[in-house]
Amino acid sequence: MQSILIHRFDNGLQLLAEQMDYLESVAFSLQVPGGYVYDPDDREGLANFTCEMALRGCGERSARQFIEDLDNLGVNYNSGVASEFAGFRGAMASAMLDPALELVADFVRRPHLPADQLEDGRLVCQQEIRALDDDVAQQMMLELRRRTFNAPYGRAHHGTLESLASITLGDIRGFFEKMYRPDGAVLSVAGKFDWNHLIERIESLLGDWSGVENFEPVVSPPTAGDLHIEYPSNQTHIGLSYAAPSYIEDDYFPARAAVGVLADGMTSRFFTEVREKRGLVYSVGASYDSLRDAGAVFCYASSTTDRAQETLDVMRAELVRLGEGIEPDELDRLKVQLKTGLLMEQESSRSRCATLVGDWRLLGRVRTRNEVLSLVEGLTCEAVNAWLAENPPRDFRVVTIGKKALESPDAVS
Amino acid sequence: MQSILIHRFDNGLQLLAEQMDYLESVAFSLQVPGGYVYDPDDREGLANFTCEMALRGCGERSARQFIEDLDNLGVNYNSGVASEFAGFRGAMASAMLDPALELVADFVRRPHLPADQLEDGRLVCQQEIRALDDDVAQQMMLELRRRTFNAPYGRAHHGTLESLASITLGDIRGFFEKMYRPDGAVLSVAGKFDWNHLIERIESLLGDWSGVENFEPVVSPPTAGDLHIEYPSNQTHIGLSYAAPSYIEDDYFPARAAVGVLADGMTSRFFTEVREKRGLVYSVGASYDSLRDAGAVFCYASSTTDRAQETLDVMRAELVRLGEGIEPDELDRLKVQLKTGLLMEQESSRSRCATLVGDWRLLGRVRTRNEVLSLVEGLTCEAVNAWLAENPPRDFRVVTIGKKALESPDAVS
């Protein structure tokens, strides 16, 4: 029996927890408003830079003391920003949760954001961008996202070398003051812990945390058009995207099933047609990305220059064929895979933590395993095909990077 | 209480199992002799190509039927070759283990290795090599391994475009006949299962599998010297290696502790000195790789062209400083991290499966969690420092890729 527990503190902080007493570990994930969609247009990368600086000392601890204390507790942790949130995650032995939460509270409430580490922090953020120089697949995906999701949701979290150069300590402190607040923050805990004690502990650490302003980013359409980036490589990286329902829409599950038939595993259509039958690529895939108000499917492959056009053509043909419907045996296989995935997730405190907070962020509630199971079980070929008939994959955005631009039949000539 | 079970079948097949009844999943890992060290020198990539072909139909199943049946069972699987073994791994809901094992048996005993899929399989293997064109960090590591481990252990598993082109169906069938045999094969199972039933099941599927020849690869020294590869990127990728004890040696744990202080996590010396204090890189690290008869530490970083020399110099300086000893608080932190890692591993059927088979392959036996815990607990600063005094990191091999070659103080001028 799954045990999901929910508590909202007076200051707006939302606590979600799942007891998994068969584990000895516990994981947490804290998300505060402070994602990259709140970057001012002339300060892209500010959210990421702020998150980097928040680790450089907080509360009574120096930067060094903070990470040493986390290591001394055996907390396996990381931090970073997503579109709407800055997050801090960790997993550890169950007994270490109490002291770890004290460090988490310092991170979100009392970072020093020290002037003498500003340039070191800036260098690290800039190195993250420079490392992209050799990661052309990632460059391609960033450009594709920008052409798929509305701005600022489609932007890169790390900004540009130029925008980072212009960020001041005042910008960082201002961003922190405005964004790192309990109203809109979500903390999830999964694994072995005592629920009543957890509430008390968090009340004492975060109960008097305050700040209630809400900010909505100003939204504008995605960057228009397709893009080819000239690059002197023998490989061409191909990205193709199209719109899909967000996780909160009723249509999500049929849409997700269709993408599964397209690209999940070695029996998927992409793997079969692009790799196994034609040997066009070593890897080909698609991922379904859902924000709150929009979703999209991102397809990708890389092939040699001379076979890249055929690769893109076969991918397009498979997307058109997907619109014509899926077969019952394809759906049956996918359902088994999705159900096995749910079972595996239930054995990992980290995975459950991520799902709890993801559900809450998108749905405003948590789906139980049984609820998801019955949504998966309830999928029928008829329903998926009816949905596909109304919503065939279309209006593709294409970004390529390599020696030669590719032809797109639906490009405006 | 950890429950590790061991059974050797008459034909030499070794079964290792660990009951984890708190899970609902089960994982398996089967390794047969057939790794890339057995590739003939003029047929590099043969082991990998054979493994690719073995998935293309076996027993009474066509290539398509085989992967469909795996998907129908919800088996999350993959296959591939390592230095000495070809492996097939999977994880699934516990109830699906029985039918999955039938597929595993077909894979290792009755692959069709069909002539009509030879060219498709070759293309896939070649695409794996071509995908390296844009993965310069991986190119660097491959060259570094070749200069660190004896041939053929240091070679790339995928061969070259030329060697792949020369491989015939006869080569593949000959390799399969010679190498895919029970003597030297190891099967591990971890998660929820019934031990007596498992033995019976495997006896009926693999008990009459035969073949007992043993082959030892002909060993020769590593490729000599350092290497710089010219590449028109703004990033320089730096790899540096040095010899270390293998996992079977008594010195392994002090050596592993030293590498942990050097590179595990955000309080490690590399992270602190190379990234946090100087902002030279976005990521820097080191990994400890152990074969049966040799071990090595591989350090890596990537920086911009103009800061690459400083990055390498700081890495070298840290390696020299490591030889001078570690501090008690560094070791204490590392011990907590290693112990937390053991606890997390115990919650994953897949991780335990990999460790069982890895232990057996290197040690010829399985270490219990308590045994590893007491080895970790038993580490003292004195012992680690005594070992480091005798065995400071030295005789570095360096491979770089980027616009400019770097200077090495110990290079022969």
Q: Could you report the per-residue pLDDT of A129-162, keeping only the tens digit for each?
A: 998 988 999 999 999 999 999 999 999 999 999 9
Q: Is B290 within 8 Å of chain A by CB?
A: no
Q: Is B116 within 8 Å of chain A by CB?
A: no
A337's tokens: 């895979």
Q: Is A134 within 8 Å of chain B by CB?
A: yes
Q: Is B347 within 8 Å of chain A by CB?
A: yes
Q: How far is A34 from chain B (nearest CA, A)?
A: 22
3-state secondary structure (DSSP) of residue A51: helix
A25 → closest Cβ in B136, B278, B344 = B344
A134 → closest Cβ in B71, B128, B233 = B233
Cβ–Cβ gap B304/A344 under 8 Å: no
pLDDT in tens, A186-206: 999 999 999 999 999 999 999
Q: Is B343 within 8 Å of chain A by CB?
A: yes
pTM (2 decimals)?
0.94
Residue of B nearest to A342 (CA): B93
Q: How does DSSP assign A113-167, residue by residue?
A: --GGGHHHHHHHHHHHHHGGGG-HHHHHHHHHHHTTSPBTTTS-TT--HHHHHT-
Question: Which of B65, B129, B130 would you mutate first to test chain A, the one with the most A CBs within 10 A?
Answer: B130
Residues 349-368 in A contacting B (C-alpha not used; CB under 8 Å): 349
Quick one: average pLDDT of A260-267?
A: 95
Q: Is B74 within 8 Å of chain A by CB?
A: yes
3-state secondary structure (DSSP) of residue B214: coil
Cβ–Cβ gap B127/A280 under 8 Å: yes
Gap between the Cα atoms of B56 and B58, Å rounded: 7
Cβ–Cβ under 8 Å, residues A14 and A8: yes
Cβ–Cβ gap A267/B67 under 8 Å: yes
Instruction: Give exposure, A41-62, as e/b (b: 16+ Cβ within 10 Å).
Output: eebbbbbbbbbbbbbbbbeebe
Quick one: average pLDDT of A291-320?
A: 96
Q: Could you tell me the pLDDT band of residue A215, with boundaries at 50, 70 and 90? A: confident
Question: Hey, CA dihedral for B340, B341, B342, B343, is it positive or negative?
Answer: positive
Cβ-proximal residues to A383 (8 Å cutoff; 6+ apart), any chain = A254
Cβ–Cβ gap B133/A233 under 8 Å: yes
Q: Is A279 within 8 Å of chain B by CB?
A: yes
Cβ–Cβ gap B134/A237 under 8 Å: yes
Cβ–Cβ gap B134/A64 under 8 Å: no
Gap between the Cα atoms of A214 and B157, Å rounded: 54
Q: How does DSSP assign A154-211, residue by residue?
A: TS-TT--HHHHHT--HHHHHHHHHHH--STT-EEEEEES--HHHHHHHHHHHHTT---
B126: chain A residues, CB-CB within 8 Å: 279
Residues 229-258 in B contacting A (C-alpha not used; CB under 8 Å): 232-235, 237
3-state secondary structure A350-361: HHHHHHHHHHHH
Parallel, antiparallel, or unpaired for β A227-230 and A397-402? parallel
Q: Is A329 within 8 Å of chain B by CB?
A: yes
Residue of A nearest to B273 (CA): A120
Surface-to-core class of residue B3, CB atoms within 10 Å of its CB (0-12 exposed, 13-18 middle, 19+ buried): exposed
A277: chain B residues, CB-CB within 8 Å: 120
ipTM, two decimals, is: 0.91
What parts of chain B have a pLDDT lower than 50? 412-413
Question: Which of B24, B347, B352 would you mutate first to test chain A, the one with the most A CBs within 10 A?
Answer: B347
Residues 298-317 in A contacting B (C-alpha not used; CB under 8 Å): 302-304
Q: How far is B308 from chain A (nearest CA, A)?
A: 12
Cβ–Cβ gap A127/B282 under 8 Å: yes
Cβ-proximal residues to A299 (8 Å cutoff; 6+ apart), any chain = A239, A240, A241, A262, A263, A270, A284, A285, A286, A315, A319
Q: How far is B365 from chain A (nearest CA, A)?
A: 26
Q: How far is B314 from chain A (nearest CA, A)?
A: 16
Question: DSSP label at B279?
Answer: -
Gap between the Cα atoms of B105 and B88, Å rounded: 10
B295's tokens: 């071990």
Model pLDDT, residue A133: 87
Residues 5-24 in A contacting B (C-alpha not used; CB under 8 Å): 22-24
A23: chain B residues, CB-CB within 8 Å: 22, 347
Q: How far is B288 from chain A (nearest CA, A)?
A: 19
Gap between the Cα atoms of A349 and A191, Å rounded: 5
Q: Which domains does chain B have, with CATH numbers?
A: 4-207 (3.30.830.10), 227-402 (3.30.830.10)
Q: How far is A211 from chain B (nearest CA, A)?
A: 31
Gap between the Cα atoms of A377 and A253, Å rounded: 11
Residue of A nearest to B75 (CA): A337
Cβ–Cβ gap A276/B332 under 8 Å: no
Cβ–Cβ under 8 Å, residues A140 and A229: yes
Model pLDDT, residue B410: 60
Q: Could you tell me the pLDDT band of residue A410, with boundaries at 50, 70 and 90? A: low
Model pLDDT, residue A413: 40
Q: Is B134 within 8 Å of chain A by CB?
A: yes
Q: Is B63 within 8 Å of chain A by CB?
A: yes
Q: How far is B234 from chain A (nearest CA, A)?
A: 7
| Helix (H) / strand (E) containing B5 | strand B3-8
Gap between the Cα atoms of A340 and A359, Å rounded: 19
A233: chain B residues, CB-CB within 8 Å: 133-134
A373: chain B residues, CB-CB within 8 Å: none
Surface-to-core class of residue B159, CB atoms within 10 Å of its CB (0-12 exposed, 13-18 middle, 19+ buried): buried
Question: Which of B192, B333, B348 would you mutate first to test chain A, the one with the most A CBs within 10 A?
Answer: B333
Cβ–Cβ gap A91/B134 under 8 Å: no
CB pairs under 8 A between A and B: 173
Q: Is B72 within 8 Å of chain A by CB?
A: yes
Quick one: average pLDDT of A280-304?
A: 94
Cβ–Cβ gap B235/A265 under 8 Å: no
Q: Could you tell me the pLDDT band of residue A226, with boundaries at 50, 70 and 90? A: very high
Give the residue from A217, A352, A238, A351 showing the smallest Cα distance to A292: A217
Q: What integer best gives the mean pLDDT of chain A?
A: 95
A273: chain B residues, CB-CB within 8 Å: none
Q: C-alpha dihedral over A129, A133, A134, A137, to 10 degrees?
A: 80
B267 → closest Cβ in A68, A126, A275 = A68
Cβ–Cβ gap B71/A281 under 8 Å: no
3-state secondary structure (DSSP) of residue B191: strand
B235 → closest Cβ in A93, A134, A344 = A134
Q: How does DSSP assign B345-409, residue by residue?
A: HTT-HHHHHHHHHHHHHHHSS---HHHHHHHHHT--HHHHHHHHHHS-S-S-EEEEEESS----T
Cα A254 to Cα A137, A339, A379, B270, B351, distances in angstroms = 29, 15, 7, 48, 33
Q: Is B276 within 8 Å of chain A by CB?
A: yes
Model pLDDT, residue A174: 95
pLDDT in tens, A343-401: 999 999 999 999 999 999 999 999 999 999 999 999 999 999 999 999 999 999 999 99
Q: How far is A338 from chain B (nearest CA, A)?
A: 8
pLDDT at A33 over 80: yes
B336 → closest Cβ in A25, A72, A341 = A72
Cβ–Cβ under 8 Å, residues A269 and A321: yes
User: CB neighbours (10 Å) of residue B166?
Assistant: 14
Give the residue from A153, A108, A160, A104 showing the smallest Cα distance to A132: A160
Model pLDDT, residue A105: 96
Cβ–Cβ under 8 Å, residues B259 and B326: no
Question: Which of B2, B123, B125, B229 would you mutate first to test chain A, the one with the most A CBs within 10 A?
Answer: B123
Cβ-proximal residues to A95 (8 Å cutoff; 6+ apart), any chain = none
Q: Could you tell me the pLDDT band of residue A108, with boundaries at 50, 70 and 90? A: very high
Model pLDDT, residue B282: 84
